[in-house]
Amino acid sequence: MPGRALRPIALVVVAVCVVAVAAPAPCSDSGSVLRKVPFTFVPERDYARVFLAGTFNAWSTDATRMNEVEGRYEIDLLLPLGQYQYKFVADGDWITDETAQAFAPDGFGGQNSVVTVDGSFEAVPLEVGDGRIVTEHLGHGQNAWEVVRAADGSVSLRTRVWSGDVEGVTVRWRVDGGGAAGAEAPAGAIPMDLVDGDGLFDYYAATIVAGATFDYFFEIEDGGTVFRQGPDGLVEAPGSAGEFRFDADEFPVFQTPDWVKEGIIYQIFPERFANGDPDNDPDFSEWYYEGLTDLPNSGRSNEEYFHLVDDWYDIEGLAKSPYRTDEKPDWYSFYGGDVAGIHQHLDYLANLGITIIYLNPIFQAKSNHKYDAATYTEIDPHFGTNEEFAAFVEACHAREIRVVIDLAFNHTGETFWAFVDTRERGERSEYWDWYEWKKWPLPDGWTSGGLEYYDCWWGFGQMPNLNFDLSRPNPEEHTVRDIDDAEVNWPVVNHLLDATIYWLTEIDVDGFRLDVAGEVPFWFWELFRGRVRAAKPDAYILGELWGASPEFVNGKYYDAVMNYAFFRDPLLAFVVRGEMDAAAFDSAIAPGRFVYPDEGVRAMMNLLDSHDTERLLTTAWGDTRRLKLAVLFGMTYVGAPALYYGDEIAMQGGRDPDCRRPFHWKWRDDPVRADVHAYTRRLIALRKEHPCFARGSFRTLLAEGRVYAYHRSAAGDDAIVVMNAGTERSTVMVPLEEAPPHDLLNVLTQETVAVAESGDGLSFEVSVPPLTGYVFTYRKSESER
Task: List the single range of 138-152, 424-438, 567-581 with lowest mean pLDDT.
Answer: 138-152
Note every long-range contact of 218-221, with CB atoms under 8 Å and residues 24 or more positions apart, other chains counting: 218/140, 218/159, 218/169, 218/170, 218/171, 218/172, 218/192, 219/169, 219/170, 219/171, 219/172, 220/133, 220/161, 220/166, 220/168, 220/169, 221/166, 221/167, 221/168, 221/169, 221/170
Interval 476-489 mean pLDDT: 95
Residue numbers annotated as active site:
515, 544
Q: Is the peptide bond before 475 cis (omega within 30 degrees of 0)?
A: yes
Q: pLDDT tier at 11 (50, 70, 90 boundaries)? A: very low
- From start to end of 501-644, where are the E strands? 511-514, 540-543, 560-561, 605-607, 640-644
Supply the pLDDT for residue 180.
41
Between 551 and 645, the higher pLDDT residue: 645
Left (φ > 0), alpha (ψ -120 to 50) or beta: where does 426 sit?
Answer: left
Question: 77-93 burial by CB neighbour count: b if 16+ within 10 A, else e?
Answer: bbbbbbbbbbbbbbeee
Task: List the single range of 53-62, 121-130, 217-226, 433-442 with lowest mean pLDDT.
Answer: 53-62
Is residue 657 within 8 Å of residue 610, measured between CB atoms?
no
Residues 6+ apart with CB under 8 A from 479: 7, 521, 522
Supply the pLDDT for residue 92.
80
Compute the half-sphere exposure of residue 758: CA atoms within 13 Å on the CB side of its CA.
Answer: 10
Supply the pLDDT for residue 784.
59
Supply the pLDDT for residue 76.
93
Supply the pLDDT for residue 177.
53
- pLDDT tens digits, residue range 493-544? 999 999 999 999 999 999 999 999 999 999 999 999 999 999 999 999 999 9
- From start to end of 621-729, where are the E strands? 640-644, 697-704, 707-714, 717-724
Of 710, 685, 709, 712, the closest CA to residue 696 belongs to 712
Q: Is the pLDDT at 492 greater than 80, yes or no?
A: yes
Supply the pLDDT for residue 779.
72
Q: Is the pLDDT at 179 greater than 50, yes or no?
A: no
Provide the β-strand partners of residue 695: none
Mean pLDDT, all residues of the chain: 91
Question: 245-280 burial by CB neighbour count: b if 16+ within 10 A, else e?
Answer: ebeeeebeebbbbebbbbbbbbbbbbbbbbbbbeeb
Of 740, 697, 739, the closest CA to residue 715 belongs to 697
Supply the pLDDT for residue 306.
97
